[in-house]
Amino acid sequence: MNATAVETLVPILGSITEVREETHDVRTLRLDLADSEEAESFTWRAGQFVMVSVFGAGESALTITNPPAQKGFIEVTFRQMGTVTSALRRLSEGEPVGLRGPYGNSFPVEEWRGRDIAFVGGGIGMAAVHAPLWDVLGNREAYGEITVMAGAKTVADLVYRNEAGRLRDIPGVRVIQVVDPGGEEPGWDGEVGLIPQVFERMGLSGRDTTVVVCGPPVMLGFMLQATTRMGTPPSQVITTLENRMKCGVGYCGHCNVGEFMVCRDGPVVSGEVISQLPNEF
Ligand SMILES: Cc1cc2nc3c(=O)[nH]c(=O)nc-3n(C[C@H](O)[C@H](O)[C@H](O)COP(=O)(O)OP(=O)(O)OC[C@H]3O[C@@H](n4cnc5c(N)ncnc54)[C@H](O)[C@@H]3O)c2cc1C
């Protein structure tokens, strides 16, 4: 490994400057870099991720959820899963974290200009949808109709639920919230069903739509089948892979799928690329 590669593995210091509860087990953190010069030069593209370290506990890959136009700080939204994310959840405002990155490729938002786009997130998958969605909305007039479908098992599990009102106020943006059968509450006025079925039933895609879909692998599989039936080419169905990873820069081989290193060659991939990968998900 050369000196530059080693440098990319050294975390820089950041601190938690805001904590927002999304659901009972999902939280959003605003992270500011300690060094103002580093903060100034820290840029990213929608879809990239950082390795966040909790000192004494370890590191986790987390997607940067705020759009690149918001310079000077980043946001991450995480679900409490195990060792590192539980330790991250125990931290409060003012406490330090380490940050490496940004890593990985990004969503080709420039290529989507003029097209209709459907953003679909299942559960914590909404975290990966958030940066490209707000990146596109930062340049609203360049794109066609925007649909946002946010789904979860229950109403209480909907991530970014409070943003729906703000999104609905933007011209040409349609917001649909979906919960699994049995996950609705009295007074629920959203949809009930599984995301791929509701998406297809509502006819939300077609030949000229780009579909950005992030969520559990089983949901991705059904979404690919549904979009194919709806005439959307697999090259226009874009997702992110979240294989477990360690180094984040293509050295350790923890996240590979065949020859494909998710950290280096992904995490953003099209349905077309997925169909060419070995079936290891
Ligand atoms: C590029 C990328 C971006 C990611 N972005 C986000 C994000 O924005 N928000 C978020 O909440 N999570 C995200 N993840 C997943 C996140 O990195 C893991 O959930 C986290 O590292 C788990 O660490 P832990 O120590 O808390 O869990 P561990 O103690 O390591 O594991 C606890 C449980 O979680 C499972 N698990 C751990 N990692 C993963 C994984 N990658 N995929 C599926 N199951 C896993 C384990 O199998 C185990 O059952 C991302 C992963 C990648 C690779």
232's CB contacts (< 8 A; 6+ apart) are 205, 206, 207, 209, 211
The residue among 212 and 279 whose pLDDT is bigger is 212
64 lines ligand 1 (CB under 6 A): no
Task: Provide the edge-to-edge strand list for the sheet that holds 58-63.
Answer: 58-63, 49-54, 96-103, 12-21, 26-33, 73-79
103-114 pLDDT tens trace: 999 999 999 999
pLDDT value of position 256: 80
Residue 274 has pLDDT above 90, yes or no: no
The residues of the chain that CATH labels 3.40.50.80 are 109-240
134 closest CA partner among 153, 121, 152: 121
The residue among 243 and 156 whose pLDDT is bigger is 156
Closest residue by CA, ligand 1 atom 1: 242
53 lines ligand 1 (CB under 6 A): no
Residue 2 has pLDDT above 50, yes or no: no
Closest residue by CA, ligand 1 atom 11: 78
Per the CB < 8 A criterion, the answer to whether 229 and 200 are in contact is yes
Domain 109-240 has CATH 3.60.15.10: no
pLDDT value of position 38: 87
Residue 45 has pLDDT above 90, yes or no: yes
75-84 pLDDT tens trace: 999 999 999 9
In the reported structure, the alpha carbon of residue 81 is separated from the centroid of ligand 1 by a whole-number distance in angstroms of: 7
94 lines ligand 1 (CB under 6 A): no
245 lines ligand 1 (CB under 6 A): yes
Specify the residue for token string 């991530």. Answer: 159
Q: Quick one: fold of 3-103?
A: Elongation Factor Tu (Ef-tu); domain 3 (2.40.30)
The residues of the chain that CATH labels 2.40.30.10 are 3-103
Residue 160 has pLDDT above 60, yes or no: yes
Residue 281 has pLDDT above 60, yes or no: no
The two beta strands, 237-240 and 260-261, are: unpaired
- pTM for the whole structure: 0.94
- Please state, rounded to an integer, the average pLDDT across all residues of the chain: 93
Closest residue by CA, ligand 1 atom 52: 242
Residue 1 has pLDDT above 50, yes or no: no
Q: What percent of the chain has pLDDT above 90?
A: 79
pLDDT band at 4 (very low <50, low <70, confident <90, very high): low
262-271 pLDDT tens trace: 878 889 999 9
